Amino acid sequence: MVKISEMKRSTCTVKNKIVLWYICKLCTLVLSSDLVTNLLLQVKVLRSIRKIDPRDVILGQYKSSSRDKNGVILNGVDPTYCAAALYIDNARWDGVPFLVRVGTGLIKHRVEIHVQFRHVPGNLYRENIGINIDLGTNELILRDEPDEAILVKINNKVPGLGLQLDASELNLLYKDRYKTEVPDSYEHLIHDVIDGDNHLFMRSDEVAAAWNILSPVLEEIDKHHTAPELYEFGGRGPVAAYYLWAKHGAPWADD
Protein backbone atom coordinates (compact mmCIF):
# COMPACT_ATOMS: atom_id res chain seq x y z
CA MET A 1 0.00 0.00 0.00
CA VAL A 2 1.03 3.63 -0.46
CA LYS A 3 0.47 6.24 2.26
CA ILE A 4 0.83 9.95 1.50
CA SER A 5 0.87 12.35 4.41
CA GLU A 6 1.13 16.09 5.02
CA MET A 7 0.90 17.01 8.69
CA LYS A 8 1.39 20.59 9.87
CA ARG A 9 1.51 22.30 13.25
CA SER A 10 0.55 25.68 11.79
CA THR A 11 -3.08 26.71 11.54
CA CYS A 12 -5.03 27.27 8.36
CA THR A 13 -8.00 25.72 6.62
CA VAL A 14 -7.53 22.79 4.24
CA LYS A 15 -8.28 23.88 0.69
CA ASN A 16 -9.46 21.54 -2.06
CA LYS A 17 -6.36 22.33 -4.13
CA ILE A 18 -4.13 20.79 -1.42
CA VAL A 19 -5.95 17.46 -1.65
CA LEU A 20 -5.85 17.77 -5.44
CA TRP A 21 -2.09 18.25 -5.35
CA TYR A 22 -1.59 15.12 -3.26
CA ILE A 23 -3.70 13.00 -5.56
CA CYS A 24 -1.47 14.17 -8.40
CA LYS A 25 1.62 13.05 -6.44
CA LEU A 26 0.47 9.49 -7.07
CA CYS A 27 1.47 10.03 -10.69
CA THR A 28 5.12 10.50 -9.77
CA LEU A 29 5.29 6.77 -9.07
CA VAL A 30 5.11 6.10 -12.82
CA LEU A 31 8.02 7.75 -14.61
CA SER A 32 9.61 7.68 -18.04
CA SER A 33 12.87 9.16 -19.24
CA ASP A 34 10.92 11.10 -21.87
CA LEU A 35 9.16 14.21 -20.50
CA VAL A 36 6.18 14.11 -22.87
CA THR A 37 5.64 10.39 -22.26
CA ASN A 38 5.83 10.98 -18.52
CA LEU A 39 3.17 13.70 -18.67
CA LEU A 40 0.89 11.41 -20.66
CA LEU A 41 1.43 8.61 -18.12
CA GLN A 42 0.48 10.95 -15.28
CA VAL A 43 -2.83 11.77 -16.96
CA LYS A 44 -3.40 8.08 -17.70
CA VAL A 45 -2.90 7.18 -14.03
CA LEU A 46 -5.30 9.89 -12.87
CA ARG A 47 -7.95 8.67 -15.29
CA SER A 48 -7.52 5.15 -13.88
CA ILE A 49 -8.34 6.18 -10.30
CA ARG A 50 -11.56 4.57 -9.16
CA LYS A 51 -14.50 6.77 -8.20
CA ILE A 52 -14.05 7.74 -4.55
CA ASP A 53 -16.57 6.30 -2.13
CA PRO A 54 -17.76 9.16 0.16
CA ARG A 55 -17.51 6.69 3.06
CA ASP A 56 -13.76 6.56 2.39
CA VAL A 57 -13.35 10.30 2.99
CA ILE A 58 -12.88 11.71 6.51
CA LEU A 59 -13.05 15.44 7.25
CA GLY A 60 -11.83 16.99 10.47
CA GLN A 61 -11.54 20.36 12.16
CA TYR A 62 -9.30 21.26 15.09
CA LYS A 63 -10.93 22.75 18.15
CA SER A 64 -10.13 26.44 18.40
CA SER A 65 -11.37 29.77 19.58
CA SER A 66 -13.08 32.15 17.21
CA ARG A 67 -9.80 33.23 15.61
CA ASP A 68 -6.42 31.52 15.35
CA LYS A 69 -3.00 33.17 15.15
CA ASN A 70 -3.14 33.40 11.34
CA GLY A 71 -6.41 35.30 11.46
CA VAL A 72 -8.48 32.45 9.99
CA ILE A 73 -12.01 32.39 11.36
CA LEU A 74 -13.37 28.84 11.51
CA ASN A 75 -17.03 27.99 11.24
CA GLY A 76 -18.75 24.63 11.57
CA VAL A 77 -17.93 23.40 8.05
CA ASP A 78 -14.35 24.60 7.47
CA PRO A 79 -12.20 21.43 7.34
CA THR A 80 -8.63 21.56 8.60
CA TYR A 81 -8.03 17.85 7.95
CA CYS A 82 -8.89 15.43 5.16
CA ALA A 83 -8.14 11.71 4.79
CA ALA A 84 -9.14 9.49 1.88
CA ALA A 85 -8.59 5.99 0.47
CA LEU A 86 -8.05 5.69 -3.28
CA TYR A 87 -7.55 2.81 -5.71
CA ILE A 88 -5.97 2.84 -9.18
CA ASP A 89 -7.62 0.38 -11.56
CA ASN A 90 -4.72 -0.66 -13.76
CA ALA A 91 -2.47 -3.73 -14.00
CA ARG A 92 0.37 -2.29 -11.93
CA TRP A 93 -1.60 -0.93 -8.95
CA ASP A 94 -4.65 -3.22 -8.91
CA GLY A 95 -5.78 -3.85 -5.34
CA VAL A 96 -3.19 -1.49 -3.78
CA PRO A 97 -4.78 1.11 -1.48
CA PHE A 98 -3.47 4.67 -1.70
CA LEU A 99 -4.13 6.40 1.62
CA VAL A 100 -3.89 10.19 1.59
CA ARG A 101 -4.10 12.53 4.55
CA VAL A 102 -3.50 16.25 4.82
CA GLY A 103 -4.13 18.41 7.85
CA THR A 104 -3.11 21.34 10.00
CA GLY A 105 -2.96 21.94 13.73
CA LEU A 106 -1.49 18.45 14.22
CA ILE A 107 1.16 17.02 16.50
CA LYS A 108 4.00 17.18 13.96
CA HIS A 109 5.02 18.95 10.78
CA ARG A 110 5.75 16.26 8.20
CA VAL A 111 5.40 15.69 4.45
CA GLU A 112 6.23 12.20 3.23
CA ILE A 113 5.22 9.17 1.18
CA HIS A 114 5.25 5.64 2.67
CA VAL A 115 5.38 2.60 0.40
CA GLN A 116 4.44 -0.39 2.55
CA PHE A 117 5.44 -3.71 1.01
CA ARG A 118 3.34 -6.86 0.96
CA HIS A 119 4.04 -9.86 3.17
CA VAL A 120 5.85 -12.74 1.52
CA PRO A 121 4.03 -16.09 1.59
CA GLY A 122 5.31 -18.72 4.00
CA ASN A 123 6.65 -16.58 6.85
CA LEU A 124 9.50 -18.64 8.32
CA TYR A 125 9.54 -16.75 11.62
CA ARG A 126 5.81 -16.88 12.27
CA GLU A 127 5.59 -20.61 11.64
CA ASN A 128 8.64 -21.51 13.71
CA ILE A 129 8.37 -19.28 16.75
CA GLY A 130 4.97 -17.63 16.46
CA ILE A 131 6.19 -14.06 15.93
CA ASN A 132 3.57 -11.96 14.21
CA ILE A 133 5.15 -9.25 12.07
CA ASP A 134 1.91 -8.17 10.39
CA LEU A 135 2.11 -4.79 12.13
CA GLY A 136 5.70 -4.18 11.06
CA THR A 137 6.09 -4.74 7.33
CA ASN A 138 9.03 -3.38 5.36
CA GLU A 139 8.57 0.22 4.27
CA LEU A 140 10.19 2.71 1.93
CA ILE A 141 9.73 6.32 3.12
CA LEU A 142 10.33 9.35 0.89
CA ARG A 143 10.39 12.42 3.12
CA ASP A 144 10.17 15.98 1.82
CA GLU A 145 9.78 17.86 5.12
CA PRO A 146 11.05 18.69 7.70
CA ASP A 147 14.36 17.15 6.52
CA GLU A 148 14.62 15.59 3.07
CA ALA A 149 15.46 11.92 3.43
CA ILE A 150 15.03 8.42 2.02
CA LEU A 151 14.36 5.84 4.73
CA VAL A 152 13.96 2.07 4.57
CA LYS A 153 12.36 0.23 7.48
CA ILE A 154 13.09 -3.50 7.47
CA ASN A 155 12.50 -6.49 9.73
CA ASN A 156 16.01 -7.75 10.39
CA LYS A 157 17.15 -10.97 12.08
CA VAL A 158 19.01 -10.29 15.31
CA PRO A 159 22.55 -11.75 15.06
CA GLY A 160 23.00 -15.02 16.91
CA LEU A 161 21.64 -18.55 16.95
CA GLY A 162 18.03 -17.59 17.64
CA LEU A 163 15.27 -16.56 15.26
CA GLN A 164 14.37 -13.20 16.75
CA LEU A 165 13.40 -10.27 14.54
CA ASP A 166 14.02 -6.59 15.14
CA ALA A 167 12.72 -3.55 13.26
CA SER A 168 15.69 -1.62 11.85
CA GLU A 169 16.02 1.54 9.78
CA LEU A 170 18.40 2.41 6.97
CA ASN A 171 18.42 6.12 6.30
CA LEU A 172 19.81 8.67 3.88
CA LEU A 173 19.41 12.09 5.45
CA TYR A 174 20.39 14.66 2.84
CA LYS A 175 21.66 17.29 5.25
CA ASP A 176 24.04 14.77 6.85
CA ARG A 177 25.20 13.10 3.65
CA TYR A 178 25.65 16.19 1.47
CA LYS A 179 27.39 19.23 2.88
CA THR A 180 25.46 21.68 0.76
CA GLU A 181 22.29 23.68 1.13
CA VAL A 182 19.21 21.76 0.01
CA PRO A 183 16.77 24.13 -1.75
CA ASP A 184 13.15 23.94 -0.68
CA SER A 185 10.26 23.13 -3.01
CA TYR A 186 9.41 26.73 -3.89
CA GLU A 187 13.04 27.48 -4.75
CA HIS A 188 12.93 24.56 -7.19
CA LEU A 189 9.74 25.87 -8.80
CA ILE A 190 11.01 29.45 -9.15
CA HIS A 191 14.24 28.15 -10.66
CA ASP A 192 12.25 26.06 -13.15
CA VAL A 193 10.15 29.10 -14.10
CA ILE A 194 13.31 31.08 -14.84
CA ASP A 195 14.73 28.19 -16.89
CA GLY A 196 11.44 27.57 -18.71
CA ASP A 197 11.29 23.99 -17.38
CA ASN A 198 7.66 22.90 -16.87
CA HIS A 199 8.10 19.24 -15.90
CA LEU A 200 6.97 19.90 -12.28
CA PHE A 201 3.89 21.86 -13.36
CA MET A 202 0.48 20.42 -14.18
CA ARG A 203 -0.94 20.54 -17.69
CA SER A 204 -4.57 21.49 -18.26
CA ASP A 205 -5.61 17.90 -19.08
CA GLU A 206 -3.94 16.69 -15.88
CA VAL A 207 -5.81 19.29 -13.80
CA ALA A 208 -9.10 18.33 -15.49
CA ALA A 209 -8.50 14.62 -14.83
CA ALA A 210 -7.75 15.30 -11.15
CA TRP A 211 -10.87 17.43 -10.68
CA ASN A 212 -12.95 14.68 -12.29
CA ILE A 213 -11.88 12.53 -9.33
CA LEU A 214 -12.61 15.13 -6.66
CA SER A 215 -15.74 16.86 -7.95
CA PRO A 216 -18.26 14.01 -7.36
CA VAL A 217 -17.23 13.46 -3.74
CA LEU A 218 -17.09 17.21 -3.05
CA GLU A 219 -20.61 17.54 -4.42
CA GLU A 220 -21.76 14.73 -2.11
CA ILE A 221 -20.17 16.47 0.88
CA ASP A 222 -21.88 19.76 0.00
CA LYS A 223 -25.19 18.05 -0.72
CA HIS A 224 -25.34 16.29 2.64
CA HIS A 225 -23.68 19.15 4.56
CA THR A 226 -21.13 16.73 6.00
CA ALA A 227 -19.79 18.12 9.27
CA PRO A 228 -16.08 17.61 10.03
CA GLU A 229 -15.11 15.61 13.12
CA LEU A 230 -13.50 17.73 15.82
CA TYR A 231 -10.01 16.94 17.09
CA GLU A 232 -7.70 18.55 19.61
CA PHE A 233 -5.32 21.23 18.34
CA GLY A 234 -1.83 19.73 18.46
CA GLY A 235 -3.30 16.23 18.44
CA ARG A 236 -3.28 13.34 15.95
CA GLY A 237 -6.39 14.20 13.97
CA PRO A 238 -9.87 12.66 13.84
CA VAL A 239 -10.35 9.22 15.36
CA ALA A 240 -12.42 8.20 12.33
CA ALA A 241 -9.30 8.39 10.14
CA TYR A 242 -7.73 5.51 12.08
CA TYR A 243 -10.84 3.39 11.54
CA LEU A 244 -10.50 4.19 7.83
CA TRP A 245 -6.88 2.96 7.79
CA ALA A 246 -7.92 -0.22 9.63
CA LYS A 247 -10.73 -0.80 7.14
CA HIS A 248 -8.15 -0.90 4.35
CA GLY A 249 -5.63 -2.93 6.37
CA ALA A 250 -3.17 -0.10 6.98
CA PRO A 251 -1.83 0.58 10.47
CA TRP A 252 -0.43 4.12 10.44
CA ALA A 253 1.94 5.16 13.20
CA ASP A 254 2.45 8.85 14.03
CA ASP A 255 5.86 8.57 15.67
pLDDT per residue as tens digits for the range 23-47: 555 544 555 556 667 777 778 888 8
C-alpha–C-alpha distance, residues 136 and 154, integer Å: 8
44-81 core/surface letters (b: 16 or more CB in 10 A; e: else): ebbbbbeebebebbbbbbbebeeebeeeeebeeeebbb
Cα-based distances in Å from 189 to 59, 174, 196: 30, 19, 10
Give the separation between CA 183 and CA 173, rounded to whole angstroms.
Answer: 14
How many separate domains does the chain show? 1
- Cβ atoms of residues 80 and 23 within 8 Å: no
**CATH code of residue 242:** 3.30.360.10
**252 occurs within a structural domain:** no
Class of residue 29 by CB neighbours under 10 A (exposed 0-12, middle 13-18, buried 19+): middle
Give domain status of residue 255, yes or no: no
Is 4 within 8 Å of 83 (Cβ atoms)? no
Question: For the ranges 12-26, 28-42, 186-200, which has the lowest average pLDDT?
Answer: 12-26
pLDDT at 34: 63
- CA 68 from chain centre, in angstroms, equals 26
Q: Is residue 64 part of a domain?
A: yes
The stretch 65-92 carries a mean pLDDT of: 72
Residue 231 lies in a domain: yes
Flag whether pLDDT at 127 surpasses 80: no
pLDDT tens for each residue of 41-73: 778 888 888 888 888 999 998 886 444 554 455
* Model confidence band, residue 246 (pLDDT cutoffs 50, 70, 90): confident
The answer to whether the CB of 26 falls within 8 A of the CB of 45 is yes
Q: Would 209 be classed as within a structural domain? A: yes
Position 103 in a domain: yes
pLDDT digits (tens, 9 = 90+) for 141-185: 888 887 888 888 887 777 887 777 777 888 888 888 888 777 777
pTM of the model: 0.76
Domain that holds residue 164: 2-247
Give the Å distances, CA to CA, from 236 to 3, 36, 69, 109, 244.
Answer: 16, 40, 20, 11, 14
The answer to whether position 253 is within a domain reads no
202-223 mean pLDDT: 85
Of 98-107, 159-168, 235-244, the least confident: 159-168
Residue 62 lies in a domain: yes
Confidence of residue 131 (pLDDT cuts 50, 70, 90): low
